[in-house]
Amino acid sequence: MKQLLSLVLCIGAISLGVVTPAFSQSSGEAGSDDFKVRIKKDILKNEAMSSRKSEPVAVHEEVPGDSAASAMKLIQFKEHKNPEDKRARLAEGASLQTGSYCLASDGTLGTMGVVPADWGDGSDTPYYNNGVPLGCIALNPDELEGAGLELVEVNGEMVVQPIRIQLTVEDLQSFPITPADAHQERAPHTLKNYNTNFWADASVQEFQREIAGQQVQVRATPVSYSFVYGDGGQLGPVSYAGYQLGEDVWDEETPTSHKYTVPGDYQFSVVTGYRGEFSVDGGPWEVIDGTVERPSEGQLVRVWRTQVGLVADDCSAAQGAWGCTGTDR
């Protein structure tokens, strides 16, 4: 790293600012070496790039051309005119101020911050801006990650670029995806040996989350359904959710209907499988490998048996009469 002559910084709409509570902004007195990184959004102006004297620098070849990252610029660090100059090198086009990117003489990346007058950290002497000493405060790997950046080597040069977000099915599991609504025709009642129609109602769900300083949008799409009828019968997983027949249709078989052969109370539910996709900072959608499942709450199914018989009384006169509610089904 000490022999590093050039460091290229790949950055788009993300830049860093440094808040240095350990140092006084007025006197330069120092406390501890701790400081925090604050993420800022800052679009680099083309005019600043076009004013450079050096050869044009191409976009990092590993960045896909159809993604938002393809709009990022590469920024080199200024060479000192005097080889004996022991101050840190500033980024091309950057002004001497707190938060500007800098490259220490030992090859470490940092940002400019207020430091004590005797600052040096063993490698660099400070700049002075209106009498205030500014030094290159190194960024450690955790701070780079917290700012959504990573330091990598590309074609023999060190490059700082936004961390490439990759979501797994475990990440998808952490999002509050709601299950499908489970439905039964004329719930909760049905008859023994009748075709009882069931269906599910699910929709696409979207979520927003900040990960490593980048805005990540996640989309969960229902792709499979498993119908659990409660009597040991099950259908699926299948790709269709079923459909409603209507109140006037009885005992009609559908792809998701079921026959109960024994009267009683059962719990019906649907397990919905969701496929995930994600987009980083408005870039293209990428598919997450695997699916997550969400089971619905159980729905009561009350199965009745039918018998034909002659009765002498109605149920209002004799609640315990044959065929009235509360008697044996």
Q: Looking at the predicted structure, is the pLDDT value of residue 117 above 50? A: yes
pLDDT (mean) for 216-223: 97
Bridge pairing between strands 101-103 and 109-114: antiparallel
- CA-based Rg of the chain, rounded to a whole angstrom? 33
Least confident range of 30-39, 98-107, 220-229: 30-39
**At 143, which helix (H) or strand (E)?**
helix 141-146
pLDDT score recorded for residue 252? 96
Tell me the sheet residues that pair with 75. 9
pLDDT range class, residue 88, cuts 50, 70, 90: confident
Q: Looking at the predicted structure, is the pLDDT value of residue 131 above 50? A: yes
Q: Looking at the predicted structure, is the pLDDT value of residue 75 above 60? A: no
pLDDT score recorded for residue 321? 74
pLDDT (mean) for 285-313: 90
pLDDT range class, residue 81, cuts 50, 70, 90: confident
pLDDT (mean) for 184-201: 96
pLDDT range class, residue 102, cuts 50, 70, 90: confident
pLDDT (mean) for 46-51: 33
The residue ranking higher by pLDDT, 105 or 196, is: 196
pLDDT in tens, 232-242: 999 999 999 99
pLDDT in tens, 262-289: 999 999 999 999 999 999 989 999 999 9
**At 48, which helix (H) or strand (E)?**
helix 46-50
pLDDT score recorded for residue 136? 85
pLDDT exceeding 90 applies to what percent of the chain?
Answer: 39
Q: Looking at the predicted structure, is the pLDDT value of residue 27 above 50? A: no
Distances (CA, A) of 285 to 48, 252, 279, 288: 31, 41, 5, 10
Both structure tokens of 86: 């022991």
pLDDT range class, residue 68, cuts 50, 70, 90: very low
Cis ω before 188 (30° cut-off from 0):
yes
Q: Looking at the predicted structure, is the pLDDT value of residue 310 above 70? A: yes
The residue ranking higher by pLDDT, 125 or 328, is: 125
pLDDT range class, residue 160, cuts 50, 70, 90: low
Both structure tokens of 79: 């060479």
Domain range summary for the chain, segments of one domain joined by + = 7-162, 169-304
How far is Cα 136 from Cα 115, in angstroms, rounded to an integer? Answer: 9
pLDDT score recorded for residue 141? 75
Q: What class has domain 169-304?
A: mainly beta
Q: Which of 168, 163, 164 is nearest to 276 (CA)?
A: 168
